[in-house]
């Protein structure tokens, strides 16, 4: 089987991180999130990390080019040789296009984009429940609605982009973790079989 490169898409609260972690564990592939990459670069005080820190310290978003450079640095590590799962990256269309270009330069491409979706009311309830359980005060219904609006504007366009590339697989993210995972497994088994 060729290298399995999966991108997990979906709004906040949809459970894509949980599904990505389960699948990564199952397939023995790295589960890569930009948050972890940023923390690693900051901790190691790399050149990329120092550049990112200067933006973060000023309260600005790290530019797409720098984010993509940090991700590509991570994807070049030996544990990614058989493939990997990207969770929460790309975050916008520009990052998606930059990732595509960087992968093509390596003779690679995204195998599939797995898009998780659920009604907004379900997402708001899930995030509110998670916030209550974790004692987080920042996830009020208003901030959750704002996060979902930002997702729609910034990340939403990746769904038609992936569909246009014929790599999109969409899932109903309602049900138990195991029910949703069973849907994911069907698609991934098909990809592994070369469908």
Look up 137 and say whether it is catalytic.
no
Quote the CA–CA distance of 163 and 168 in Å, as a whole number.
5
Q: What is the helix (H) or strand (E) element at residue 8, kind and residue range?
A: strand 4-9
Q: How do strand 112-117 and strand 31-33 relate by DSSP bridges?
A: unpaired
Look up 136 and say whether it is catalytic.
yes
Catalytic entry in 53, 94, 147, 185: 147
N-to-C CA span, the chain: 11
Cβ atoms of 183 and 24 closer than 8 Å: no
Q: What is the dihedral of CA 21, 27, 29, 33, to 10 degrees?
A: -20
Peptide bond into 90 cis (omega under 30): yes
Quote the CA–CA distance of 37 and 22 in Å, as a whole number.
19
Catalytic entry in 51, 91, 165, 185: 91
For residue 138, give both structure tokens: 């920042």
Catalytic entry in 50, 106, 130, 192: 130
Beta bridge partners of 171: 116
Catalytic entry in 16, 22, 74, 183: 16
Catalytic entry in 101, 106, 136, 192: 136
By annotation, the residues acting in catalysis are 16, 91, 130, 136, 147
């Amino acid at each position: 089987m060729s290298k399995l490169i999966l991108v997990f898409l979906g709004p906040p609260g949809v459970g894509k991180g949980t599904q990505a972690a389960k699948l990564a564990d199952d397939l023995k592939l790295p589960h890569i999130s930009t948050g972890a990459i940023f923390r690693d670069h900051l901790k190691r005080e790399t050149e990329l990390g120092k550049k990112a820190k200067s933006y973060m310290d000023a309260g600005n978003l790290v530019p797409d080019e720098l984010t993509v450079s940090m991700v590509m640095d991570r994807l070049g590590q030996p544990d990614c040789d058989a493939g990997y799962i990207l969770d929460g990256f790309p975050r916008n269309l520009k990052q998606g296009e930059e990732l595509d270009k960087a992968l093509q330069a390596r003779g690679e491409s995204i195998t599939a984009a797995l898009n998780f979706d659920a009604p907004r009311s379900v997402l708001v309830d899930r995030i509110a429940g998670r916030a209550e359980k974790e004692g987080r005060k920042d996830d009020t219904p208003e901030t959750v609605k704002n996060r979902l609006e930002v997702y729609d504007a910034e990340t939403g366009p990746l769904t038609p982009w992936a569909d246009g590339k014929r790599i999109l697989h969409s899932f109903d993210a309602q049900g138990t973790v195991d029910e949703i995972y069973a849907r994911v497994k069907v698609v991934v088994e098909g990809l592994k079989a070369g469908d």
